[in-house]
Amino acid sequence: MATLFEYRDYLITGLITTVGVTLAGIALMTILMIVFGMALLSRHRPIRRASRVYVEFFRGTSLLVQLFWWYYALPFFGISLPALLVGVVGLGLNSGAYGAEVVRVSIKSVPIEQVEAGKALNLSPTLIMRLIVLPQAFRIMLPPYANLCVELLKGTSVVALITIAELTFSARYIAVRTFQTEPAFIAILICYFVLATLIVVPIRRLERRLRLV
């Protein structure tokens, strides 16, 4: 353990990188899931179809293959992207596809009778969406949103394969240098658990608070 302590700077650096990639990925995922989730419900068929192509493509292909394609294959076509950018965009696009379905299903879960009541009150579609549908859909989507955030956090371990020195990369480096595989991976196991808890707990508190409103 003393040797592991000597390499603590590598773990700290990996932890900082993991946190940064996770936060940026969640931000991108949130934007994409809202945009494409709403687009899946659009009245315009081309918009719905384009959104469906995005969702099915990124849900139907491996995140690892996507990252490898963008980081290792695109340079053959004259396009080289920084590893950190590929990691954030890859995680955001992949998780955003799942999140789009969460948004769509959450909105569709709002009882149609309430929408009809809004129409009876002569509310515009925009007001019905803003005042009636979205507040209820937001409560419904919070639990799966928390799951998506945690899955994205765990997915950051994959970006180690495109040379990003995050937690898993740091643990493998320390294990190779010190031959202490168990302590290194126990340390990052604890780190992932703590980070996941920091993500889930605030969302659960928000969920409980909204139930009381």
User: Could you please report the per-residue DSSP string of 111-136?
Assistant: -HHHHHHHHHTT--HHHIIIIIIHHH
Whether the Cβ atoms of residue 153 and residue 197 lie closer than 8 Å to each other: no
CA pair distance 182, 200, nearest whole angstrom: 27
The single-letter code of the amino acid at 3 is T
* Dist. CA 118–CA 199, nearest whole Å: 35
| Per-residue pLDDT at 113 | 84
For the chain, domains (ranges, CATH) are 2-211 (1.10.3720.10)
Q: Which amino acid is at 164?
A: I
Looking at residue 54, its pLDDT comes to 95
Give the pLDDT of the chain (213 residues) as one tens digit per residue.
556 667 778 888 999 999 999 999 999 999 999 999 999 998 899 999 999 999 999 999 999 999 999 999 988 888 889 999 999 999 999 999 999 999 999 999 888 888 788 888 877 877 888 888 888 889 889 999 999 999 999 999 999 888 888 888 888 888 888 877 888 888 899 999 999 999 999 999 998 887 755
Q: Which residues of 90-124 are buried (b: 16+ CB within 10 A; e: fewer)?
A: bbbbbbbbbbbbbbbebbeebeeeebeebeeeebe
> How high is the pLDDT of residue 213?
53
pLDDT of residue 212: 54
Q: Are 31 and 206 in contact (CB under 8 A)?
A: no
* Contact between 127 and 117 (Cβ < 8 Å): no
Q: Residue 50 to residues 47, 56, 69, 91, 93: CA-CA distances in angstroms?
A: 5, 10, 22, 20, 14
pLDDT at residue number 35 = 95
- Residue 146: its pLDDT value, please? 94
Q: CA 191 to CA 57: how far, in whole Å?
A: 32
